[in-house]
Amino acid sequence: MTLQIGDPAPEFNLLNQDGTGISLSSFQGQRVVIYFYPKDDTPGCTKEACNFRDLWEDFSRHNIQVLGISKDGALSHSKFINKYQLPFPLLSDPEPCLVAAKYESYGLKKFMGREYMGMMRQTFVVDSQGKLELIYRKVKAATMAKQILMDLDLE
Q: Give the pLDDT of residue 42.
A: 96
Distance between CA atoms of residues 40 and 140, nearest Å: 17
Q: Which amino acid is at 76?
A: S
Q: How far is CA 126 from CA 23, 36, 54, 143, 154, in A?
A: 13, 14, 21, 19, 15
Helix (H, G, I), strand (E, B) or coil at 37: coil
User: Would you name the residues annotated as active-site residues?
Assistant: 45
Half-sphere exposure at residue 83, Cβ-oriented, CA atoms within 13 angstroms: 13
pLDDT per residue as tens digits for the range 100-131:
999 999 998 888 889 988 999 999 999 999 99
Task: State residue 110's pLDDT score.
Answer: 84
Question: What is the domain partition of the chain in residue ranges?
Answer: 13-151
| Assigned architecture for domain 13-151 | 3-Layer(aba) Sandwich (3.40)
For 23-68, what is each residue's pLDDT tens digit?
Answer: 999 999 999 999 999 999 999 999 999 999 999 999 999 999 999 9
